[in-house]
Amino acid sequence: MLAVITALFLFAAGCSSPAKDNDTKTTAVSAMAPEQKQAIEQEISSLVKEFFQQVEKLDIETCMSYFENTPDFQAVNPDGTFGDYDALKKLNADGFSQMKTLSVVPTKEAIRVLTDSLVLYTFSVEQDATLKTGQKIKYEHVAGTMLFTKINGAWKATFYQESASAPVAVK
């Protein structure tokens, strides 16, 4: 009987104690040392440099590895439509399949560290493409935003937005 009462007492004590917080704690940028913020900025800068190199290789599978494939992923396409991971992959795969070469020239970037696990990256690039038909086109103004989240120790884009002017034919 004493064992039953002890077990009930322990059960009741366990139910009334606050739940343990198992969520990963994040550090706001205001609480970060400048060195920590600079290290995160460098990680993101290196990551997006690699990303744009993969874009130039027209390798959709490797390009998409920079994005988190979850139901929560969101993309806003250049035409203003919303999409998920699969829609972004299809849209870009369709575009890549028409190209023979693509060069991406960054013109401006901004890295805004929000927390130690959340970074907003905004970019502007110019793109020159040669289509498989031999036609050359230029995208003079392409801008985008990527929201990077640190997931299991790796930075992944969990949101992507791109705006672009219509391409112009190059003679």
Report the CATH number that the domain containing residue 148 is assigned in CATH.
3.10.450.50
Residue at 16 is within a domain = no
pLDDT tens sequence across 82-101: 999 999 999 999 999 999 99
26 within domain boundaries: no
Does 28 fall in a domain?
no
> What mean pLDDT comes out for the span 128-146?
96
Report how far residue 57's alpha carbon sits from residue 62's, in angstroms, rounded to the nearest whole number: 9
Structural domain total, the chain: 1
Does residue 132 form part of some domain?
A: yes
| pTM passes above 0.85 | no
3-state helix, strand, coil in the chain (%, to 5): 35, 40, 25
Average pLDDT, the chain: 86
DSSP code string of 100-133: EEEEEEEEEEEEEEEETTEEEEEEEEEEEEEETT
- Structural domain includes residue 22: no
Does a structural domain hold residue 21? no
**pLDDT over 60 at 12, yes or no:** no
The parent domain of residue 53 ranges over 34-170
Query: What six digits make up the tokens of 126?
Result: 């110019």
Residue 111 lies in a domain: yes
Dig out the tokens for 43 from the structure. 């990680």
Evaluate whether residue 47 is within a structural domain.
Answer: yes
